[in-house]
Structure 1
Amino acid sequence: MTSSCDLMYWRNPVETGKVFGGALVALLVLKKVNLITFVLRILYTTMFATASVEFLSKLFLGQGLVTRYGIQSCPNVVGFLKPRIDTALTQLPPAMAKFRTTLMAQSPKTTFKASGVLYVLCKLFSVMSLWTTLLVGTIAAFTLPVVYKTFQKEIDATVAQGVEAGKHHASALQSTVSEKASPYMKQLDEKMGPVSGFIKSRVPATRVGGSNVTAESSTAKLAAQVPFEEPAQATTSSADFPTVPSTHLGNGHIVTDETTGLAHEVHEAHEPIRQ
């Protein structure tokens, strides 16, 4: 059985061509043909043809050709579908667990990525129809992997340059917005008056290295410390537990002083046996 990666990378051109061509034909049929009327037309045409042949063959030959040479048993649809449905159902609980962890943001980085992908899909479906999206997606799935594999170095270098340029423009835009918003923030501070003073008194600014650290910068620092990945589970080994001091049972026993760490033997006095 050919895997999806082999199909996408055209490692077997014959198999990939069959799947790609079949997908395009199915999409064209879905676009141009009304499936309900198409299936009904095939059914009534087939039934009319079999009934006519059976009636005429019994009338002239004495026996029906359709009942004698036609399909004698139904295909094993249950045997074909049941293993595939069972395989899909066994894969459903892990997929649901992964969806739950993503939805509940156990890894904020993964949740941010998923929300970005869903946002792009929402905008894509708002612009294009479902059929157009399926057609473009099918063509892209069978062409983009091959193009990327062929020109991987050039594409990676271009993407790296684009990321660096985006970071530079974002930094410049942030500084520009900060400079333009600074006078308005000062005016707002002056207009708020007592409210601004109360907020400053509740969250006082501190000086670190000659610069003021305001509540906004402290909040940004705390937000930057929030982990985007799920922290690793801590493991505890037997070496982490303190060792138990050894004792010697006999006429006396050894006692270790916890403050000095010195061990000394304590002898127990035997009481005389009373008659």
Structure 2
Amino acid sequence: MSGVQSSEKSPCDILYWKNPVETGKVLGGALVALLVVKKVDLISLFLKLLYTTLFATASVEFLSKLVLNKGLVTTYGIKECPNIVGTIKPYIDEALKQIPVQQSKVRKLVFASSPEKSFKAAGVVYIAHKLISFMSVWTIAFVSTLATFTLPIVYKTYQREIDAAVEQGVSVAKTKSAEYQQLVQEKATPYVKQLDEKLGPVSGFVKSKIPQSRVTAESTTAKLAADVPLEPTQSATATTSGASFPSVPRTDLKQSVHDVTAKVDDITVDDLKQQIENNKALPTL
């Protein structure tokens, strides 16, 4: 039954103060434990209690056997150890069940499945780093305890405002990133042009291999193809009479298109460059 009861309760119920009395007990116990840790040397206290108990039980057992011929400790002492394993096993099992869930949450935070949550986690870790740099371990534990019982309820109360602020920060970061990217591109453009001019033939060869260069080549070849005359067109557009109509030659458009396509395919980038140089060398009319 204890395992069922522990599974029904969620830590969020305590952190969100759904039951103020229970949350107050947990918070008070945690603070008292921290004060004991700060004021009392637990290791020394444990060792003192241990040797005092051992000395007392040994003395009683020795004296009782000496006087009564019967050991009181062995006779009336506890015969069986308390079932500590059975008591804490349900809590350990419940904790082990939560480990994969927490691992999944950590993985999502690290790999930014939700940038807003990752930013929040980064802010918490940054604050913890700054606290560790100038605070003691006990002070950090004390502040963490108070923050654990206050920050969740504060976030739940002002969730919309906090999410809006984080979303605005993300939007500003994206805008600044785009501006820096544009600035880098503008600064790098002159250097790219200088490098293009210095490389010379190598740059021309690289550009000829880029798919975008096909646009210029295709547009030039299309212009050349337009200049190729289609001889059958004149006979097809000539006016004919009824008597001469049977003697009109047939226009083989498919063959003409095939010839033009073959001629266009034979044109290379080098031929186009040579033709452009020849056109520049011709005297203007």
User: TM-score if structure 1 supplies the norm length?
Assistant: 0.51
C-alpha separation between the residues in 2 aligned to 1:133 and 1:198? 64
RMSD: 4.5
Alignment of 1:69-218 (within 5 A): 69-88=76-95, 95=101, 98=104, 102=107, 109-110=112-113, 123=126, 126-127=129-130, 128=132, 132-149=139-156, 151-152=157-158, 155-157=159-161, 159-161=163-165, 163-164=167-168, 167-168=171-172, 170-171=174-175, 173-174=176-177, 176-178=179-181, 180-193=183-196, 194=199, 202=210, 204=212
Q: Which amino acid aligns with 2:82?
A: P
The residue number in structure 2 matching 1:25 is 32
Calculate percent identity across the aligned residue pairs. Answer: 43
C-alpha separation between the residues in 2 aligned to 1:163 and 1:99? 20
Q: Which amino acid aligns with 1:157?
A: E
Segments of 5+ residues of structure 1 without an aligned counterpart are 208-275
C-alpha separation between the residues in 2 aligned to 1:28 and 1:51? 34
* Aligned positions, number: 198
SS in 2 for 1:110: coil
Asked whether the 8 Å contact 1:189–1:196 carries over to 2, the reply is no
Segments of 5+ residues of structure 2 without an aligned counterpart are 216-285
> 1:188 Cα deviation (Å)?
1.7
**Pair member with larger Rg:** 2
> 1:63 Cα deviation (Å)?
5.5
C-alpha separation between the residues in 2 aligned to 1:203 and 1:131? 65
Asked whether the 8 Å contact 2:61–2:72 carries over to 1, the reply is yes
> 1:143 Cα deviation (Å)?
1.4
SS in 2 for 1:71: coil
User: TM-score if structure 2 supplies the norm length?
Assistant: 0.49
Q: Deviations over 1:165-197 (max 9, x none)?
A: 6524652x3465356435421222133223766
More helix by share: 2
The change in CA–CA distance for 1:97 and 1:180 in structure 2 (over 3 A counts) is closer
More strand by share: 1
C-alpha separation between the residues in 2 aligned to 1:138 and 1:8? 11
SS in 1 for 2:78: coil
> 1:88 Cα deviation (Å)?
4.8
